[in-house]
Amino acid sequence: MKKILAVILFLAMLLALAACGGSGAGDAADESDLAYVKDKGTLVVGITEFEPMDYKDADGNWIGFDADMAAAFAESLGVEVEFQEISWDYKTQELDNKSIDVVWNGMTLTDEVTTSMECSNPYCQNAQTIILPADKAADYATVEDMKDLTFAVEAGSAGKAEVEALGYTFTEMETQAAALMEVAAGTSDAAVIDLLMAAAMVGEGTSYPDLVNTVNLNSEQYGVGFRKGSDLAAALNDFFAASYADGSMQAIAETYGVQAALIEQ
């Protein structure tokens, strides 16, 4: 009886090891995000409304420098692009649970981003800038002058981090566009948003002609984020290099007025 039990236990152990080996092989196959995206036929891009990077045209289609580049990258992979609005504060969770495949939305390469995501090479220069009503800007020439103001910032954004570091009072909004609306409505005294967005959204001839950008708080770079360890980041770097070399990246940048911010690939 003992010999029979020993044989049964030995066989059970072999089956368990075989199962573990099979599982490991499957996991290894699942590690390729590139294969995963190609297999399902779509690249799901996490975005927020952020002109001139990602915003809707009159027909409701997503356009912008990032949107057009994302569509071109998807085409290079032989898949369709799909844009999904996300809460910026939960961008990493959206990636990890595979609700989206990439965060491509003028994302600042902060320490938090680079440690939680597999990031592309930087592709645009940017800064966080303070937005004020045009008729009040002269009263607030420096950051110190603004210490008693209330700021509107996008939750989870680089702008929020800058205001938080200053120790100033702020209200978190869902998007940078919502932060601008707060200032325009007089609900907040000021906002902190991306300089590239400010160039497209505030000042004469824009959606907010009575607002101006004033002091820049930092200097930063944009990158694209994938799941940690994703091989899509290397594929995008190759695509960036090719599209910069053939001039298509510059052409798209010129369409949206961000060509001066481009970083050579």
Token readout for 186 is 């007089």
For 114, 116, 140, 235, the CA distances from 229, given in Å and listed in that order, are 11, 10, 45, 12
Q: Are residues 226 and 201 in the same domain?
A: no
DSSP 208: B
Residue labelled with tokens 């998807």: 74
Question: How far, in whole angstroms, is CA 107 from its chain's centroid?
Answer: 4
Domain-located, residue 14: no
Q: Are residues 144 and 191 in the same domain?
A: yes
Question: What is the average per-residue pLDDT within 71-80?
Answer: 98
In which band, very low, low, confident or very high, does the pLDDT at 15 lie, cut at 50, 70 and 90?
very low
**Residue 31: predicted pLDDT:** 77
Q: Are residues 115 and 236 in the same domain?
A: yes
Host domain of residue 119: 33-125+221-261
Q: Are residues 101 and 147 in the same domain?
A: no
Q: Are residues 53 and 65 in the same domain?
A: yes
Q: Are residues 37 and 121 in the same domain?
A: yes
Q: Are residues 226 and 209 in the same domain?
A: no
**Residue 6: predicted pLDDT:** 44
Q: Are residues 115 and 240 in the same domain?
A: yes
- Reduced to 3 states (helix: H, G, I; strand: E, B; else coil), residue 19 is helix
Token readout for 124 is 């645009």
Domain-located, residue 213: yes
| 260, β-bridge pairs | none
We report the CATH number of the domain holding residue 240 as 3.40.190.10
Q: Are residues 207 and 92 in the same domain?
A: no
Tell whether the torsion through CA atoms of 96, 101, 102 and 105 is positive or negative. Answer: negative
Percent of the chain at pLDDT above 90? 88
DSSP 249: H
Domain-located, residue 22: no
Look at the chain and report how many structural domains it folds into. Answer: 2
Does the pLDDT at position 20 exceed 70? no
> What predicted TM-score, i.e. pTM, was given to this entire model?
0.80
